[in-house]
Amino acid sequence: MTLLGLALRDLRARPAQPLLAVLLTALAVALLAALLSFADQFERRMARDAAGVDLVVGAKGSPLQLVLAGVYHLDIPPGNIPLAEVESLRRNRLVAEAIPLALGDSFRGHRIVGAGHEYLALYGGRLAEGRLYEEPMEAVLGSEAARSTGLRRGDRFHGAHGLGEGGHEHEEESYEVTGVLAPTGTVLDRLILTPVESVWWMHAGHAEDDAAFEASRREVTVALVRYASPVAVALLPRQINAASALQAASPAFEMARLMTLLGAGRDALAALAGLLLLTAGAALAAGLMATLAARRYELAVMRMLGAGRATLFASVLIEAAAIGLAGALAGLVLGHVFLAGLNAWLSSAGQPLVAVGHFAPWELSLPVLALAASLLAGLWPAWQAARSDVAAILARG
Amino acid sequence: MSAPLVSVGGFAHCYPGAEEVVSPDFDLAERERLLLLGPSGCGKSTLLMALAGLLAPSRGAVCIAGEDWRGFAGAAADRRRGRLIGFVPQEPHLIAGLSVAENVRLAVFLAGRPDQSAALEETLEALGIAQLAGRYPHALSRGQQQRVALARAVANRPPLLLADEPTASLDDAAGAAALDLLFAAADRVGAGLIVATHDLRVQTHFPRRVTLGAPTTSRAAQQRTPVTPSPWERGGGRAVQ
């Protein structure tokens, strides 16, 4: 028999009030856990996908849209740019590397990206099976794209026009899968990769004459630029934006801007979770006080049996701590169940954004937070229990 | 041991805003039985609490085993109470979340003593509740609950057993049985026994009686009247036989 055992038995004997406090604590912790895990994964993923890309160059339009389309493959690109512009970019001494991408088609929600092998190298993409694409109309699938479409090496598929699902299929031409990539944990996993020439080929197919084919041939959608020197940070974007029909957008800057916008929502949710935790603490204190009223004779008898004031104080605090910890653990589970639900919902739109069971570093401090809150809430009831007048209670029967 | 188990001298206690209660002086030897008589509100429970060291009287000395409770404070007093006093409250007040055996074991735990299952078994056996060991208080009859409360009180083999109104609300036969059980339990552990009651039926079972009067005024108390004759007790009160 221990004080902890005693506290747990008492909680079990009068479960209603403690359960309410556990539930409220769990909700607060779940909200915080989901928030932290989601934000952490989101930021990591965003940072990983943009690693090695200093600048996105594309058609004029919204810079955020350009970054979302060119780096994260989440938005529609603002338009196309002449390949000649990319070639001249490559000759710029401030540019270490410029990777052109040709977008426009998709297969079952997965974007078909026309790009050279250097695009795979950018994300450390390695083959899990088969070989890389060499000829137009050959394709390599990202791991997630392969898993969700079920395509294997040697299979053929028709690309669909447009980046969403339901675009009309290019039935006259089909891609051949030459390989599947190993998972990289980046945007690459969701993509289907093919030579730039495939995309030109597909869209030239609509054009009747060679001139149109040639015009199409010379266009790409975006170019991903890596700076040659730190000086480029100050010079290159201004140079591009001022001197050409192109637009340059910095993924780091645009994502920081986006995070600031999302940050307000995140802070509001965190404040809500804090309020919930406060409510949980109040419910815990009220519950313990109500329990104490019912337990006053039991506690008096414990004093009569030799328990000191400190023992009663500790036993009430232990109950509070047990409630807080139970709430925190239930909350962590609940939070990740919620994320799993969110994941299933987002996956159905072809965009699995969160991994279930990913614990953000901060998240593991949530049980400590809940414990501290519950101990704080338990102080007053514990004090009441310790200072109760045992003689008066027992003398009255 | 030369000192008596219990020694009460010049006891008087005054709750704020209430009349003072006084007790005649009395001693109790080891294994002796004593009846504390008096009408409701005369201070029997107050005296029991003082004997258990849970209440410091306004005046007078309450000594157990030769030592005044005033010499002990805080945790030391709590430990001493756990070791020396067994208390049977009027209502059983068992811990709802614990089984019968655990309720009895709780007394051993809170007194800071090593847990001895054999002794626990014996105690339950002696009180005829061994077969109820795994049951929870809500599943027991009132009589069974009172046996468990008694087992809890004697679990640490205390030298002094205090009982508050053990026969109240019981009929003659049940009251006599309850008293027999109390005597048997006290004898088994060799404890002295003080029973506080307003139930005159139990008088004949006790060789010694101390009668507390109705609440007196402070002035009367200051005269340290050892015995306050009470119209409630026919034949008048005598402190110690």
pLDDT of B1 above 70 = no
**Residue where one domain finishes, among candidates A200, A217, A249:** A249
CB A370 within 8 A of CB A277: yes
**Count of CB contacts below 8 A, A vs B?**
95
pLDDT, tens digit, 9 for 90 and up, residues B48-57: 999 999 999 9
- Contact criterion met (CB < 8 Å) for A307 and B93: no
Q: Are residues A42 and A91 in the same domain?
A: no
Looking at residue A310, its pLDDT comes to 94
Residue numbers in A near B164 (CB within 8 A)? 394, 397
Residue numbers in A near B156 (CB within 8 A)? 306
pLDDT of B76 above 50 = yes
- Contact criterion met (CB < 8 Å) for B105 and A1: yes
- Whether A243 is in a domain gets the answer yes
Q: Which ranges of chain A would DSSP assign to H, the alpha helix?
A: 3-13, 16-50, 63-70, 83-91, 117-122, 143-149, 196-204, 210-217, 231-243, 251-304, 309-347, 366-387, 390-395
Q: What are phi and psi of B34, to 5 degrees?
A: -145, 140
Domain span including residue A210: 55-249
- Contact criterion met (CB < 8 Å) for B97 and A13: yes
User: Cα-Cα-Cα-Cα dihedral of A3, A9, A15, A20, to 10°?
Assistant: 30
- CB contact B109 to A (< 8 Å): yes
From B43, which residue of chain A is nearest by alpha-carbon distance?
A395
- Whether A378 is in a domain gets the answer yes
DSSP category for residue A334: H
Select the residue of B46, B89, B156 nearest A301 (Cβ to Cβ): B89
CB atoms within 10 A of CB A217: 16
Q: Are residues A166 and A298 in the same domain?
A: no
Q: Are residues A291 and A227 in the same domain?
A: no
Q: Are residues A183 and A114 in the same domain?
A: yes
Reported as type and span, the H/E element at residue B67 is strand B67-68
- Number of residues that this document lists for chain B: 241
Residue B125 to residues A113, A178, B89, B96, B128, Cα–Cα distance (Å): 84, 83, 21, 22, 5
**Residue where one domain finishes, among candidates A193, A220, A249:** A249
- Whether A228 is in a domain gets the answer yes
- Contact criterion met (CB < 8 Å) for A303 and B82: no
Average pLDDT over residues B138-149: 94
For residues A386 and A265, give the distance between their C-alpha atoms in angstroms, rounded to a whole number.
44
Q: Are residues A7 and A84 in the same domain?
A: no
Looking at residue B235, its pLDDT comes to 40
**Residue where one domain finishes, among candidates A217, A249, A281:** A249
- CB contact B87 to A (< 8 Å): yes
Q: Are residues A169 and A288 in the same domain?
A: no
- CB contact B13 to A (< 8 Å): no
- Contact criterion met (CB < 8 Å) for A304 and B75: no
- CB contact B96 to A (< 8 Å): yes
pLDDT, tens digit, 9 for 90 and up, residues B151-204: 999 999 999 999 999 998 888 999 999 999 999 999 999 999 999 999 989 988
Q: Are residues A90 and A234 in the same domain?
A: yes
pLDDT, tens digit, 9 for 90 and up, residues B82-125: 999 999 998 999 999 999 999 999 999 999 888 888 889 999 99
For residues A308 and A305, give the distance between their C-alpha atoms in angstroms, rounded to a whole number.
9
For residues A167 and A104, give the distance between their C-alpha atoms in angstroms, rounded to a whole number.
11
Looking at residue B234, its pLDDT comes to 42
Q: Are residues A9 and A104 in the same domain?
A: no
For A103-172, what is the HEC assignment?
Answer: EEEEECCEEEEECCHHHHHHCCCCEEEECCCCCCCEEEECHHHHHHHCCCCCCEECCEECCCCCCCECCC
Compute mean pLDDT per 10 residues along chain A, 397 residues long, and list them: 88 90 93 86 84 91 92 89 89 92 89 93 91 92 90 90 70 87 90 90 62 66 92 89 86 89 86 90 92 89 93 94 95 90 68 67 88 95 93 81
From B94, which residue of chain A is nearest by alpha-carbon distance?
A298
From A387, which residue of chain B is nearest by alpha-carbon distance?
B74
- Whether A257 is in a domain gets the answer no
- CB-based burial of residue A333 (10 Å sphere; 0-12 exposed, 13-18 middle, 19+ buried)? middle
Looking at residue B110, its pLDDT comes to 92
Can you say how many angstroms the Cα of residue A224 is from the centroid of all Cα atoms in its chain? 23
Q: Are residues A179 and A38 in the same domain?
A: no
For residues A210 and A283, give the distance between their C-alpha atoms in angstroms, rounded to a whole number.
76
- CB contact B76 to A (< 8 Å): no
Looking at residue A243, its pLDDT comes to 75
- Whether A163 is in a domain gets the answer yes
Number of folded domains that form chain A:
2
Q: Are residues A86 and A182 in the same domain?
A: yes
For residues B111 and B77, give the distance between their C-alpha atoms in angstroms, rounded to a whole number.
11
- Contact criterion met (CB < 8 Å) for A304 and B52: yes
- Whether A258 is in a domain gets the answer no
- Contact criterion met (CB < 8 Å) for A306 and B165: no
From B168, which residue of chain A is nearest by alpha-carbon distance?
A397
Looking at residue B241, its pLDDT comes to 38
Q: Are residues A163 and A305 in the same domain?
A: no
- Whether A305 is in a domain gets the answer yes
Q: Mind listing the domains of chain B with CATH numbers?
A: 6-222 (3.40.50.300)
CB B43 within 8 A of CB B18: no
pLDDT of B228 above 60 = no
The SS3 assignment for A17 reads helix
- Contact criterion met (CB < 8 Å) for B110 and A306: yes
List b or e across A230-243, with b for residues whose CB sees 16 or more CB atoms inside 10 angstroms: eebeeebbebbeee
Looking at residue B220, its pLDDT comes to 43
Least Cα distance to B62 among B13, B128, B116 occurs for B13
Select the residue of B78, B96, B115 nearest A306 (Cβ to Cβ): B78
CB atoms within 10 A of CB A88: 13
- Whether A95 is in a domain gets the answer yes
Looking at residue B239, its pLDDT comes to 43
- Contact criterion met (CB < 8 Å) for A391 and B74: no
Least Cα distance to B72 among A306, A332, A7, A80 occurs for A306
Chain B segment 196-235 residues within 8 A of A by beta carbon are none
Q: Are residues A230 and A100 in the same domain?
A: yes
The Cα angle at residue B55 between residues B52 and B61, in degrees rounded to 5: 80
pLDDT confidence band for B237 (50 / 70 / 90): very low
Least Cα distance to B85 among B226, B3, B184, B186 occurs for B186
